């Protein structure tokens, strides 16, 4: 049976199905046949719209990144809020935006961190590390003007903080027990305070913020 649709619509269908399958079974664990069956199209159709399986993933990640980062940017730009609150809201927007699409629940995280998803993981990591620090750095800069923060390297410092946070929370790299993880989080907050030039204990929120994803 032959159903004709607009290219953009088909592309979206393919990406939707692929996204679900990749989250369920991983990138390498999902064959193009799985995607074809899920969408209900033939091989040729898929390769009419995408030059390769990897390009499907690229499309998904780009779409994901656009959505998440856009939410965060909106929160980051609320200039009349106190900087701490802006920071918190922006970080929460990052977590929430992620939650809509890939809910960062345990089963999924398990899979994401499996070796077969190394490529997807690397691409998401790149998205986070290149996309998030510029947004947060703008807040930090305002905070510097207000005298709340003090650092000559706002962007680079946020890059460091985000990079480590990403490693610590998102990846399955460090397999830490609860106690070790608690230490990491406490140290992380302490070190973030040092890096941003505020005195110890002035970060008014604790580990609660860092439950889920980035």
Partner DNA sequence: AATTACCGACAGACAGTCGGTCGGTGAGGT
Partner DNA sequence: ACCTCACCGACCGACTGTCTGTCGGTAATT
| Dihedral, 52, 54, 57, 61 alpha carbons, nearest 10 | -120
CA distances from 106 to 110, 132, 162, 192 (A): 6, 23, 22, 27
The item of its own copies, DNA, none sharing an interface with residue 42, based on CB under 5 to 8 Å by kind, is: DNA
Stretch that binds DNA, among 48-56, 63-71, 149-157, 205-213 (CB under 7 A): 48-56
Exactly one of 42, 77, 174, 176 binds DNA (CB under 7 A); that residue is 42
Exactly one of 24, 48, 66, 172 binds DNA (CB under 7 A); that residue is 48
CB 56 to DNA: min, Å: 8
Specify the residue, 37 or 118, whose C-beta has the smaller distance to its own copies.
118
CB 34 to DNA: min, Å: 7
49 binds DNA (CB under 7 A): yes
10 binds DNA (CB under 7 A): yes
2 binds DNA (CB under 7 A): yes
118 binds DNA (CB under 7 A): no
Contact 27, 119 (CB under 8 A): yes
Tell me if residue 204 falls in helix, strand or coil.
coil
The Cα 145–Cα 100 span in angstroms is 35
CB 170 to DNA: min, Å: 25
Residues 6+ apart with CB under 8 A from 203: 84, 189, 192, 193
117 binds DNA (CB under 7 A): no
Exactly one of 24, 47, 156, 183 binds DNA (CB under 7 A); that residue is 47
CB 78 to its own copies: min, Å: 27
Taking each helix axis from N to C end, the angle separating 178-196 and 154-165, rounded to the nearest 10 degrees, works out to 180
> What is the distance in angstroms between the CA of the first residue and the CA of the last residue of the chain?
44
Contact 131, 61 (CB under 8 A): no
CB 175 to DNA: min, Å: 23
């Amino acid at each position: 049976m032959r159903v004709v649709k607009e290219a953009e619509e088909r592309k979206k269908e393919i990406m939707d199905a692929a996204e679900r399958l990749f989250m369920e079974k991983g990138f390498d664990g999902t064959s193009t046949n799985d995607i074809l069956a899920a969408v209900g199209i033939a091989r040729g159709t898929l390769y009419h719209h995408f030059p390769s399986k990897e390009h499907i993933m690229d499309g998904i990640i780009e779409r994901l990144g656009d959505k998440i980062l856009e939410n965060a940017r909106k929160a980051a730009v609320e200039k009349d809020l106190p900087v701490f609150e802006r920071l918190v809201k922006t970080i929460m927007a990052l977590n929430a935006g992620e939650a809509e699409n890939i809910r960062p629940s345990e089963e999924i995280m398990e899979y994401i961190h499996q070796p077969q998803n190394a490529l997807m993981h690397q691409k998401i990591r790149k998205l986070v590390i290149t996309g998030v620090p510029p947004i947060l750095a703008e807040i930090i800069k305002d905070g510097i003007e207000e005298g709340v923060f003090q650092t000559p390297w706002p962007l680079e410092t946020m890059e460091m903080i985000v990079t480590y946070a990403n490693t610590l929370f998102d990846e399955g790299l460090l397999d830490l027990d609860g106690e070790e993880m608690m230490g990491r989080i406490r140290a992380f907050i302490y070190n973030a305070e040092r890096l941003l030039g505020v005195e110890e204990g002035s970060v008014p929120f604790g580990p609660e913020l860092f439950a889920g994803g980035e």
